[in-house]
Chains A and B, each alone.
Chain A
Amino acid sequence: MKKNLRRVLALVMLVSMIAAFSLLCGASAAKEETVTINVYNWGQYISDGTDGYIDVNKAFTEETGIQVNYITFDSNETMYTKLKTGGASYDVIFPSDYMIARLIKEGMLLPLNYDNIPNAQLVMPAYRGMAHDPEDTYSVPYTWGGTGIIYNTKFVDEADVGSWDLLWNEKYKGKILMFDNPRDAFGVAQFRLGYDVNTTDPQELQACADLLLQQKPLVQDYVMDQIYDKMEHEEAWIGVYYAGDFIMMQAENENLNFCYPKEGFNLFVDSMCIPTSCQNKDAAEAYINFLCRPDICGENMEYLGYSVPIEGATDYMDPEAAANPIAYPDEKTLERGYIYLNLPAETSQLMDSLWLKVKTSGANKTLLIGIIGLVVVIAVCAFFIIRKNKKKAKRKSLYTK
């Protein structure tokens, strides 16, 4: 009866099997010839050929024959978790300063062989031997930049801008976006309270958590790269994010503006590292070297909007982009920038658990509703069960009669 059905099903399966098989063959044939490296980078963090800019990964493959399997993460913590969980091998990763220190401390990075990375000599002196990796054993800088407040000039009063207070301004309730990772979120609170961003004092951290809780009713959402859509479409008016990303957003919506708050802001350096799970170290180093080449770096950063740490790369950039005051703030602004350091394990654990509390709080009001609901459900259950038992009993009594 279902002959035809069977035939269709068989056909569908056959077609997909053939497709699958041919792909498998193709993939394995390709594997024999070429090396593939797994590059694990932040989302929206490489020029990928949009709008006529360079496609960095493609250019690398064309030049070296090494295939790039490009995967993205949305925060340092996500990347750390992936590495820690294991089960997957990555060849090049792009952690930020404090995370590099943490990875070094936990023995999760491999020392680099600089013979394979000659372009690393072009790294500007300011980005060498930084606190997180004093000997530059494990990392080569990729970009640097600052965090600040992005706001929509159409909706936000210029008089309110200038301080982190803007993120706590009742006027913009429901239109504020906040960082969705503990370190950056606590950093904002620390700047606003005037604390050291690398504090290990539990009470100060608690105060920060309280401040974040106080902000929570005003926050539209905790986001990372989702901020792009929300700010560009004016769904949100105020957000806190990285300067380079702002430059990309501004290209889409010219009402957006940026400010480095007066209390201070985070300066970060994102570097390229090789984790211990790496399987093609030479190829990974070739990739790092490629990204350090001034022409590649320049074209890449022109698209990204992040700031260049490589000598001579700005020559390959549009002069206007290379002089952007947001990507390259003046000395006076830079004085307000602070770099995150790695925190002791207890402190970061405390921060994680406080952050979880911030994110999950606010359920108390619904707790009451929840309990009421459960009681109702249980009451209904009990009612049915009792009724059924009664019926059964009735039936039984009928039978026995």
Chain B
Amino acid sequence: MKKLNYFLAALLGLSLQVAEAQTPKGSVLIKNATVITVTNGNLENSDVLVQDGIIKQIGQNLNAPSGVQTIDATGKYLMPGIIDAHSHVGLDVVNEATSPIVAEVRMKDVVNPYEVGLYRALAGGVTISHAMHGSANVVGGQNATLKHRWGSSDPADIIMQDAPRTIKFALGENPTRVHGRGNGIQPRSRMGVEAILRNGFNEALQYKKAWETYNAAKSQKGNTMVAPEYDERLQTLVDILDGKIIIHCHSYRADEIYMLINVAKDFGISKLVFQHTNEGFKVAPEIAQYTMGASVFADWWAYKFEVYYSTAFNAAILQRNGAITSINSDSAELIRHLYHEAAKTQRYGGLTDEEALAMITINPAKQLGIDDKVGSLEVGKQADMVIFEGHPLSSYAVPQMTFVDGIKYFDIKTDKDDQRQRVSPTEMVEEVMLTEENHRCMQDTEFLFETANALFHTNH
């Protein structure tokens, strides 16, 4: 009998383990660093103790429990892992460009854990990226928030499972070019973009009502009602209306930003973040008042007409007007030096160190709905951290080590140069790419355009 109990207990334990297939979590003590908490100032000569992937203690003269590795970071800076709120790294495909609304598609289905860009992001201190659908559609697909647990071959391991759902929207030139000019259907103009949104949400409300009517009738005696046909696209729009999904909207011009704020107000939507937002500075008070802020480039402009009237002071103006502001990459190249991009807010607008660093840590965490878990160095948070040689806002700063959940995934001193996990067996000689495609917002829409080369050089 006793034996049987042990056996059952063992079985139970086993099944529990299977049920919570765990990603690796580490323990480490980092000593004598300048700890940049982001939310609670800087702590000189301080230690951070991580156990099982969680920050357990921040202070001085901490001791490592037995078996826990100690890393001496004397003279170095320790900051929270950098979070990129706009990326396409680690995705096999980016756009499902076949309809102005494709809310049903999910980037979680196309995550590619082998992409060496994930490691290169880690080498720039980035621990979390928001792997987004492209900008070909007014309502694009649902994005995936990735944790850069480099080395796993299982896409599920690099998806941040405890992050809330987000979805891509896009306004302006890209959706109007793809659908209006590419396919000859609405939207061809910014008027059409608004109509697509309002029509879509109204259809979703009718769909929701049909299900509510059916569900109410179902419990009635003698009900003969037939269930409405399930529609993943409309159900996703309903989930947006119900506040279950955060909108991340590709946008450039002030008029279209203002339009979406009005649409969101009319439909009671408050979970809204603007992406790129080059003219956000013109409607900064509205963005601050009604949305979860803007995620912007530090200094990109003039690559297409809708960003011609931009300013590198955009982030500073948004910040000073009280909008939650983050700096993103949208680029496999830029993602590697977001600390430097954030520093540009000091040249263009004189932001403080704290404000600048918040734009690549706690602010994007807020916009992704994960600020209770990551984005600052606080006891109880997940131990995503970077050690820098030099202050991270200095142009001469060099990231040294990057940790996700307390596990070290990048070490400048010991990592091998070639980080490929998979080499094509048919590849005779490795390809040399002169201009590696950095910007993939419009990837997978090539089939719509004859002059694809010209388009993909410049369109984000």
Q: Do chains A and B interact in one complex?
A: no
B: residues with CB less than 8 A from A are none
A: residues with CB less than 8 A from B are none
